Amino acid sequence: IMAGLTQHGACEEIFARRLRWASDLASGAGICLCVEPLNKRDFPGYLVPDTTTALRILEKVGRPDSCRLQLDLYHLQVSEGDLSENIRRLLPHTAHVQLANPPGRNEPGLGEVHFSPLLKLLDRLGYEGHVGCEYRPSTTTEQSLAWAAP
């Protein structure tokens, strides 16, 4: 769920109330909503700029089975860094993981993050959800997927 941009610090309470309502509907259909923090550098004014804000909103929603965190490792690295420790801290609140490599939001292998140890950490911590790739390919789509070859 995208929180949207705000010029005047729109109320987290309103967003949390709307999420609670939507989570109750989603729960009945077996769907889990995900709140995604987006870093301030790429999205100035976004209501949920970091995981501290996201966790505070999720606490207000109070629906841990139907409203959780979408952990985008690109945004996490840009806004907070320390990916290994943050993954350990945030995984209990996470329903979905995304990856892209900063600074250019490109595929793994082209940037500052080495994803192999992080993916192994997710396995060791027992993460059973999906890992999505949302990046800007630096080349053709097929070539940009070479990093995932066994």
Q: Going from the N-terminus, what domains does the chain have, and what CATH number goes with each?
A: 12-148 (3.20.20.150)
The residue written with tokens 């077996």 in the block is 30
- The per-residue pLDDT for 150 is 80
Q: Which amino acid is at 57?
A: I
Q: Does residue 142 carry a catalytic annotation?
A: no
- The catalytic position among 36, 59, 80, 142 is 36
Kindly state the helix (H) or strand (E) to which residue 70 belongs, with its residue range.
strand 67-72
Per-residue pLDDT of the chain (150 residues; tens, 9 = 90+): 888 888 655 688 899 999 999 999 999 999 999 999 999 999 999 999 999 999 999 999 999 999 999 999 999 999 999 999 999 999 999 999 999 999 999 999 899 999 999 999 999 999 999 999 999 999 999 999 998 888
Q: Does residue 134 carry a catalytic annotation?
A: yes
The residue written with tokens 């989603």 in the block is 26
**Residue 33, strand partner residues:** 67
The rounded distance, in Å, linking the Cα atoms of 26 and 17 is 14
